[in-house]
A and B are shown apart, each in its own frame.
Chain A
Amino acid sequence: MAGAIIDAQSLGVSYGTRSVWSDATFTVAPGEFVAVLGPNGAGKTTLLRVLLGLLYPSAGSVSVLGRAPRRGNAAIGYVPQRRPVDPELRLAGTELVKLGVTGRRWGIGWPGSGAPLRRQVAEAVMAVGAEAFAGLPIGTLSGGELQRLALAQTIVGGPQLLLLDEPLASLDVRNQVAVSHLVADLARDRGMAVMLIAHDVNPLLPVLDKVIYIAGGRLTVGRPEEVITSKQLSALYDANVEVLRDSRGRMFVVGLEDEHAHPHDRDRPATVGH
């Protein structure tokens, strides 16, 4: 597809001889909001790592912004899964945001170059609504606050594609909805495409354009209401899965409780086929 942000054709990945998933064909258009769903260990983070150029595909082809994926692509903003932060660390949150601009530059930075940088940082902090806490010590920030600062650090470089790994994990429901909308607003205002890994699709439903569902070693791509159906998911999981809808249109997947109870392990290759 011409002008696509991501164009994957028959893409496949494996760790050693073990295939994670294969034969994935999909595109992501500019400004599109894509959720990546699927059970633990299905290879969702693996997909992001391929797009970031940190992992080579074993089959097929993929282009990101018209080129083969490469490390350090400044047009991609990446927010990995959060690690716990040292609670003693009193470094201000703005310092994290600042590294989004200066983190690749050599040297210690020269005095006097601070004003434009501070403006840039302040603008990004305002864009994610973090003014109230961006100056506080990182060690005292909550998960939602850290997530907003991570977004600020990402957008400060002016990317065209956001890759977010479970940004809603360990947030309460209110924050899940808020962060979902924040990401969607940022993407619309700045013309960014978004690919976001999530466990629960419901906070994302109002803003979602496309779903990539990874399970059983393959990718199913389509609009949420096409992919998240009892028939599709039952086939994907090889189990009796039902998708229910409530009066507000929210979707509930029933029959996969065990899947979602697994502790998340990002480095585990796919062993799907339950």
Chain B
Amino acid sequence: MVRLIGAAAPRPTWNVVRDLHQLFHYPFMVHAFVAGTIVAVVAGSVGYFVVLRQSAFAAHALSEIGFAGASGGVAFGFSAVLGLLTMSLVGAALIGALGKRLHGRDTVIGTVLAFSLGLGSYFLTRYKGNASGAFSLLFGEILGISVRDVWVIGIAGAVTVGVLAAIYRPLLFASLDEDVAEARGVQVRALSIGFLLLLALAVTAAIQVVGVLLIFSLLVVPGAIAERLCRTPGRAVALCISSSLIFVWAGLAVTYYSKFPVGFLITAFAFAAYLAVRLLPNGRGGLASGIQRSPSPVEPSGASRR
């Protein structure tokens, strides 16, 4: 992991303008913030659906499948990112094709995951190179991110967010009520595979920042928070995106001024936020409902955009 070059570690002056100026002084910090911002938006927008569709295991599996792909990419001499992208997309298509229904798909995911990890271990024996490459994939390497990586993340992210916006309402329907949606003519199978492919893209992007092992902090935790707080899906997605932005930005800012690795900081902030939300009352009334109460009981989402 790239640490700051130079004598003394920077210290915050608590003058916001000067601190921000200092923070963005080095190109690697600018790259990190750009990449982190894109990833937070992508992961946040996918995250609510990961939670609604109870696809946390799929997200986990896709990131490990992607890891196997990345080691394959290195082993065979093309780029790790390309291997990661290819393999997670193939894994997503396989899981989607084999697991017909949303419910009871875990065994399919586990089977595909086991085979991919087997492939990964084979790839790793082929490439007897530096272990730090593997380490950065596992824990992320946002501070060493290149301009090319930023482009890869940006394109993967734009495709993910664009397609997600296009299928937003049918996907929501299929996620909340698969049987009714299917009877209503919503293509639930195609949506299921499509969402897994989007998830693979989001995973590819997010791994660059937080790595394989810490990916849940951005793909699942914001969704879990939004699920417990929001009365409308629009608000939930907005909260998902903004909370993952805060985790990433805060993590980057604090890591700059401290000894803590950024992955640890992001996961720590996410976990703390989740714990705080869990402490809120969650009954029929409850604080969470009080935030969004409106005069009419029929339509409490008076400010809804849709």
Residues of A participating in the B interface, judged by any CB pair closer than 8 Å: 52, 54, 71-74, 76, 78-80, 83, 86, 88-92, 94-96, 98-99, 102-109, 111, 113-114, 117-118, 121-122, 125-126, 131-137, 140, 150, 153-154
Contacts and interface: CB of A to CB of B under 8 A. Distances in A.
Contact of B169 (A54, A80, A83, A105): A105
Interface in B162-187: 165-170, 172-173, 176-177, 179-186
A90 B229 contact: yes
Nearest to B54: A86
A73 B228 CA distance: 34
B177 A96 contact: yes
16 contacts: A72-B183, A72-B184, A90-B282, A91-B231, A91-B236, A96-B177, A99-B177, A103-B181, A106-B170, A109-B168, A118-B299, A125-B298, A135-B296, A135-B298, A135-B300, A137-B289
A88 B306 contact: no
B183 A76 contact: yes
B283 to A, nearest CB: 7
A121 B185 contact: no
A134 B297 contact: yes
Contacts of B90: none
A195 B199 CA distance: 39
Interface in B119-153: none
Contacts of B173: 99, 103-104
B183 A78 contact: yes
Chain B, interface size: which category?
35 or more
A108 B173 CA distance: 12
Contact of B297 (A95, A111, A118, A132): A132
Given A90-B289, A108-B169, A134 B298 contact: yes
Nearest to A135: B300
B151 to A, nearest CB: 26
Given A104-B170, A140-B283, A71 B229 contact: no
Interface string B32-75: 00000000000000000000101000000000000000000000
A153 B173 CA distance: 11
B18 interface: no
B301 interface: yes
A117 B177 CA distance: 20
Contacts of B54: 86
Interface in B183-234: 183-186, 227-234
A122 B230 contact: no
A103 B298 contact: no
B183 A94 contact: no
Contacts of B168: 107-109
B305 interface: yes
A113 B232 CA distance: 16
B48 to A, nearest CB: 10
B304 interface: yes
A71 B180 CA distance: 11
B186 A95 contact: no
Contacts of B232: 91-92, 95
B288 interface: yes
A136 B299 CA distance: 10
A150 B300 CA distance: 18
B274 to A, nearest CB: 12
Contacts of A92: 231-232, 300-301
B284 interface: yes
Nearest to B301: A92
A153 B185 contact: no
B299 A122 contact: yes
A107 B103 CA distance: 25
Contact of B228 (A88, A96, A126, A154): A88
A99 B176 CA distance: 9
Contacts of A150: 180
Given A102-B306, A105-B169, A90 B180 contact: no
B166 A89 contact: no
Interface in B230-256: 230-234, 236
Given A90-B288, A137-B284, A71 B301 contact: no
B207 to A, nearest CB: 27
Contacts of A99: 169, 172-173, 176-177, 181
B159 to A, nearest CB: 16
Nearest 10 pairs of A and B residues by beta carbon: A72-B185, A103-B173, A135-B300, A109-B306, A80-B179, A78-B183, A92-B231, A108-B168, A140-B284, A99-B173
Given A76-B183, A106-B170, A108-B168, 7 more contacts: A89-B227, A90-B229, A95-B301, A99-B169, A104-B185, A111-B306, A133-B297
Given A80-B180, A92-B231, A109-B305, A71 B169 contact: no
Given A91-B231, A99-B176, A109 B284 contact: no
